[in-house]
Structure 1
Amino acid sequence: MSLPADALAALQAFQAVGSWEQRARLLMQWGERLPALVPEDKIDANLVQGCESLVWLVGRLHEGHWQFAASSDARLIRGLVALLLARVNGLSAHALQAVDLPDWFNQLGLSRQLSPSRSNGLNAVLQRMRDLSHTQN
């Protein structure tokens, strides 16, 4: 399966750095680049259940392809969510179902840094994306 352009850029950036410190810095930078959600989107209905941190997610279907936006109150989670968005934005609902979250973070060299609670939270975000794609498909 071919990757979206943002995902390829993320992969190249993360594979180019060697140490965990460099990866952590890069992760924070990705989080800072995440566009802010408008206040109207930061509502309880858009909160992802199953995350220890607050994560808001909105998705819109545009010509058969999904575009998601998200925000979090936690810097590390914002970075991880930004990388998830890079992987899924622009996908069809069908392609979204096939995204392998552990494989994606493994390719980025970040899987060891995913604690069980962070991993569960990211899975909850991906599941919410899949649920949104089913309801508006």
Structure 2
Amino acid sequence: MRSKCVAFLGIALLLTVGCSNESALTPAAIDVGGGDEGKHIAGLVDRMSDQSSMASMKASFATGTSLNSQAARQYAKYRYDLKGQVTVNDSTATATIGMEPHAGGKMVEKPWTFVKEGTAWKIKSAPLP
């Protein structure tokens, strides 16, 4: 009887964890607003959580945006999520970004601005909590 309970719990756990489809929640799969441009911006925000080097982080920011190593360390402390819809207006865009410390803590939302440089979207302004 006990082995049946353990097996049942194991199957339930696998169904709960193993069947989740995170790819369905990727920026390309959900309506983030702003059409294809909004999807590119959502991807940019998503990649901010994974930036591991100063060069890759700096490449996410618009030309002329000051990003020194101290600022990069501050950005690296958070996980970033798009909250709500991206609003695109020609070559500029705005979105509300949720920031949650990797070390734990409360998520804070701030408005970020983006600018299109050539064919790529870049972060123009990204205030931290």
What TM-score do the two structures reach when normalised by structure 1?
Answer: 0.25
What TM-score do the two structures reach when normalised by structure 2?
Answer: 0.26
Tell me which of the two structures has the higher relative contact order, counting C-alpha pairs closer than 8 angstroms and 6 or more residues apart.
1
Larger Rg: 2
Structure whose residues are more often strand by fraction: 2
